[in-house]
Amino acid sequence: MTSIKILGPGCAKCKATYEVVKKAIEQSGVQAEVTKIEDLEGMMKYNILTTPVVVIDEQIRISGRVPALDEIKRLLN
């Protein structure tokens, strides 16, 4: 099962990123667990400078922007 983490303080862009990721999982049929990390301590473990961040299987894949639906689908396959 794929592990996906959305890092961000809960801003509008972070929420939009979460929704895009959930929709991409639904459409692609991939088995994935999505976790939101909103606390500063949890985010600092990834040494990030901008949010939102999409982490797939412990690798930072997208940082500082809301990804497109097709982009997430490509990363999942």
Question: Could you give the C-alpha distances from 75 to 6, 22, 28, in angstroms and in order?
Answer: 14, 13, 11
CB atoms within 10 A of CB 22: 15
Q: What is the CATH number of the domain that holds 12?
A: 3.40.30.10
Q: What is the pLDDT of residue 16?
A: 97
Q: What is the pTM of this model?
A: 0.93
Q: Return the H-helix or E-strand segment holding 14.
A: helix 12-28
Q: What is the pLDDT of residue 2?
A: 94
- Number of separate domains in the chain: 1
Active site residue: 2, 3, 10, 11, which one?
11
Query: Would you call 29 a catalytic residue per the annotation?
Result: no
Nearest partner of 33 among 1, 71, 72, 74, judged by Cα: 1
pLDDT tens-digit map of 56-73:
999 999 999 999 999 999
Enclosing domain of residue 49: 2-76
Active site residue: 4, 6, 7, 14, which one?
14
Query: Would you call 7 a catalytic residue per the annotation?
Result: no
